[in-house]
C-alpha cells in the first residue's frame, strides 16, 4: 500500500517535531521550561465541567446529535455575539458548529474553492492553514506581516495578479504567532478590499477574548458589510481552557455557513451532545472566569517583558493572545537560536521560521507557565550572555 498523492503533499507538522525535541530533553531528566507550546495550562472552569457531568448523565445525550448540532449551542453562540460584540446573528442560518476551529479552517477551502484557485494566507501564520490548501488542491500565496506595519497586512502591496485571482483570504487577530491585534478601522479596510476584489474573508478569532491593557479585541463581524463577504471562527479552547474538548463555531455569511454544514454532513454526525450543552453554558453563564484568565495572562506577559528588558533583550509587549514574539540575536537563525536555548538553557521556544518566511528572525514564546517559571526561563537565557 502507498499513501495518496494528497497525503504526500501535506506539510510536515511543525509542532510535532518541536514536541519530539522537547520530549527527548525531558526524557534525559532535564528541567525543561516549555514555552514553545500553545496548550492552555489552566483547567476548564468548574461550572463548565459540572455542566458536562450533568449532561453526560442524561440518556438523551447518548444518542446521535442532529447532524448540524443542537439548537441550544447555536443559540448560545448567537447570544454571545450579541452581548460581547453587539452583532446580530441568526442562530439557524448563520452559525455552524465545529469540531474545534482547526477543523473549520482546514475544511473551508474545500467548501468554497475549486482545484487551482488561489487563497491568500498570512506570513507568519498558523501552520495548519497550509493543510487546508493542500487538501483542497488549491494554490496559496502569502502576504507578509511586518513589525513596521504592526503585523497587519498591507493590502496595497499585494500584487495586482493576486488581487484579481484570489478567492479566499485568511486573517487572525489577536494574532498567532505575533500577539498583534487589529482595530475596527483595519477591518473596515479589509471589507472594502474584499468587496472590491470579490474575495471571501475568514477571520480566525481563536484568541478573541484575550486583549491586554484594557483593550478588548475587535470582532471582524462588528464592521458593516463583514457578513456580506465572510465568516469568523471562534473556539472555546482558549477563552475557557477547553482545548481538549474540541468545540468551536463559525459565524457569519449564511452561504458560507451552509457550505460548512454541508461538508460536515458528509464527514461527521456532529459533536457529542453533552459537550455541546456544556459549551452553551460556557458561552451564556457568568464570564468572570474569562476576566480572571485574561488578568493572569497579562500578569505573565508583564513579568516576561520586564525580565527580558532586565537582561538587555529588547522586545515588544504583545497586545493580545497568549504569545509573545521575540526577536532573535542577529548572528543566529530562528531555528539555531531555539535549538541553542533548548540545549544550553533548558528552555523550549518555537522557532519563528516554522510559521513562514517572515517568521525568520523571531521566536514565539507562550505565556502558558506561571510567572516564576517565565522569569526563570529568561534568567537562564540571560546567563548565556547573548544580549
DSSP characters for 36-47? S-----SPPPHH
Contact assessment for residue 39 and residue 368, using Cβ atoms and an 8 Å cutoff = yes
Whether pLDDT at 382 is above 80 = yes
387 domain residue, yes or no: no
258 domain residue, yes or no: yes
Whether pLDDT at 15 is above 80 = no
pLDDT tens-digit map of 307-329: 999 999 999 999 999 999 999 99
Global pTM reads 0.96
3-state secondary structure of 30: coil
Choosing from 228, 254, 284, the residue where a domain stops is: 284
Residues 313, 273 share a domain:
no
Coarse DSSP helix, strand, coil percentages of the chain, rounded to the nearest 5 percent: 50, 15, 35
Residues 267, 354 share a domain:
no
236 domain residue, yes or no: yes
3-state secondary structure of 311: coil
Residues 221, 110 share a domain:
yes
pLDDT tens-digit map of 21-64: 889 989 999 999 999 989 999 999 999 999 999 999 999 999 99
**Residue 119 neighbours by CB under 8 Å, 6+ apart:** 109, 113, 132, 133, 138, 139, 140, 141, 166, 167, 168, 169, 170
Q: Would you state the pLDDT for residue 358?
A: 97
**Residue 114 neighbours by CB under 8 Å, 6+ apart:** 138
Residues 311, 225 share a domain:
no
Count up the domains in the chain and report the number: 2
**Main-chain dihedrals φ then ψ at residue 168, nearest 5 degrees:** -150, 140
Measured distance CA(222)–CA(232) in Å, rounded = 11
Share of the chain above pLDDT 70, in %: 100
Residues 341, 299 share a domain:
yes
Q: How far is CA 199 from the centre of its chain?
A: 21
Q: Would you state the pLDDT for residue 17?
A: 79
**Residue 216 neighbours by CB under 8 Å, 6+ apart:** none
**Quick count: other Cβ atoms within 10 Å of Cβ 37?**
18
Residues 35, 171 share a domain:
no
Residues 110, 18 share a domain:
no
Beta strands at 350-351 and 139-144: parallel, antiparallel or unpaired: unpaired
**Residue 288 neighbours by CB under 8 Å, 6+ apart:** none
Look up the domain containing 356 and give its range.
5-43+288-382
Whether pLDDT at 131 is above 90 = yes
Measured distance CA(180)–CA(153) in Å, rounded = 11
Contact assessment for residue 324 and residue 318, using Cβ atoms and an 8 Å cutoff = yes
225 domain residue, yes or no: yes
Choosing from 249, 284, 319, the residue where a domain stops is: 284
Mean pLDDT (whole number) for 362-375 = 97
**Residue 60 neighbours by CB under 8 Å, 6+ apart:** 273
**Residue 198 neighbours by CB under 8 Å, 6+ apart:** 167
Residues 375, 231 share a domain:
no
**Residue 376 neighbours by CB under 8 Å, 6+ apart:** 33
CATH number for position 64: 3.40.640.10
Contact assessment for residue 342 and residue 32, using Cβ atoms and an 8 Å cutoff = yes
Measured distance CA(176)–CA(237) in Å, rounded = 14
DSSP characters for 316-352? PPPSBSSEEEEEPPTTS-HHHHHHHHHHHH-EE-EEG
120 domain residue, yes or no: yes
Residue with C-alpha cell 455557513? 257
Contact assessment for residue 82 and residue 285, using Cβ atoms and an 8 Å cutoff = no
pLDDT tier at 12, thresholds 50, 70, 90? confident
Q: Would you state the pLDDT for residue 357?
A: 96
Share the mean pLDDT of the chain.
Answer: 96
DSSP characters for 153-195? --GGGS-HHHHHHEEEEEE-SS-TTT-----HHHHHHHHHHHH
72 domain residue, yes or no: yes
pLDDT tens-digit map of 209-237: 999 999 999 999 999 999 999 999 999 99
DSSP 247: -
16 domain residue, yes or no: yes
| Terminal-residue alpha carbon distance, the chain | 52
Distances (CA, A) of 45 to 42, 49, 52, 238, 244: 9, 7, 11, 12, 13
Residues 184, 60 share a domain:
yes
Measured distance CA(263)–CA(111) in Å, rounded = 7
Choosing from 248, 269, 284, the residue where a domain stops is: 284
Residues 160, 115 share a domain:
yes
Amino acid at each position: 500500500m502507498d499513501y495518496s498523492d494528497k497525503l504526500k503533499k501535506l506539510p510536515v507538522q511543525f509542532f510535532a517535531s518541536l514536541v519530539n525535541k522537547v520530549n527527548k530533553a525531558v526524557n534525559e531528566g532535564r528541567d525543561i521550561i516549555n514555552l514553545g507550546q500553545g496548550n492552555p495550562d489552566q483547567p476548564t472552569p468548574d461550572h463548565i465541567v459540572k455542566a458536562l457531568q450533568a449532561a453526560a448523565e442524561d440518556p438523551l445525550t447518548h444518542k446521535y446529535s442532529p447532524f448540524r448540532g443542537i439548537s441550544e449551542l447555536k443559540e448560545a453562540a448567537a447570544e454571545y455575539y450579541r452581548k460581547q460584540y453587539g452583532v446580530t446573528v441568526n442562530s439557524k442560518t448563520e452559525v455552524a458548529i465545529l469540531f474545534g476551529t482547526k477543523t473549520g479552517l482546514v475544511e473551508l477551502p474545500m467548501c468554497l474553492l475549486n482545484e487551482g484557485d488561489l487563497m491568500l494566507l498570512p506570513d507568519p501564520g498558523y501552520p495548519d492553514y497550509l493543510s487546508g490548501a493542500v487538501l483542497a488542491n488549491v494554490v496559496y500565496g502569502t502576504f507578509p506581516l511586518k513589525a513596521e506595519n504592526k503585523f497587519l497586512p498591507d493590502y496595497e502591496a499585494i500584487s495586482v495578479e493576486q488581487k484579481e485571482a484570489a478567492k479566499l483570504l485568511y486573517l487572525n487577530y489577536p494574532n498567532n504567532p505575533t500577539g498583534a491585534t487589529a482595530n475596527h478601522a483595519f477591518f473596515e479596510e479589509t471589507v472594502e478590499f474584499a468587496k472590491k476584489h470579490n474575495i471571501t474573508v475568514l477571520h480566525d478569532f481563536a484568541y478573541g477574548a484575550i486583549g491586554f491593557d484594557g483593550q478588548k479585541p475587535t470582532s471582524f463581524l462588528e464592521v458593516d458589510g463583514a457578513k456580506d463577504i465572510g465568516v469568523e471562527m471562534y473556539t472555546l479552547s482558549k477563552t475557557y481552557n477547553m482545548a481538549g474538548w474540541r468545540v468551536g463555531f463559525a459565524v457569519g455569511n449564511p452561504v458560507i455557513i451552509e457550505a460548512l454544514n454541508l461538508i460536515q454532513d458528509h464527514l461527521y454526525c456532529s459533536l457529542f451532545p453533552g459537550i455541546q450543552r456544556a459549551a452553551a453554558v460556557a458561552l451564556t453563564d457568568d464570564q468572570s472566569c474569562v476576566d480572571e484568565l485574561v488578568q493572569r495572562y497579562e500578569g505573565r506577559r508583564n513579568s516576561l517583558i520586564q525580565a527580558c528588558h532586565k537582561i538587555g533583550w529588547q522586545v515588544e509587549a504583545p497586545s493580545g493572545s497568549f504569545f509573545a514574539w521575540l526577536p532573535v540575536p542577529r548572528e543566529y537563525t530562528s531555528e539555531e537560536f531555539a535549538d541553542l536555548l533548548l540545549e544550553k538553557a533548558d528552555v523550549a521556544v518555537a522557532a519563528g521560521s516554522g510559521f513562514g518566511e517572515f517568521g525568520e528572525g523571531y521566536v514565539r514564546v507562550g505565556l502558558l507557565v506561571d510567572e516564576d517559571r517565565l522569569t526563570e526561563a529568561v534568567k537562564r537565557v540571560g546567563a548565556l550572555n547573548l544580549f
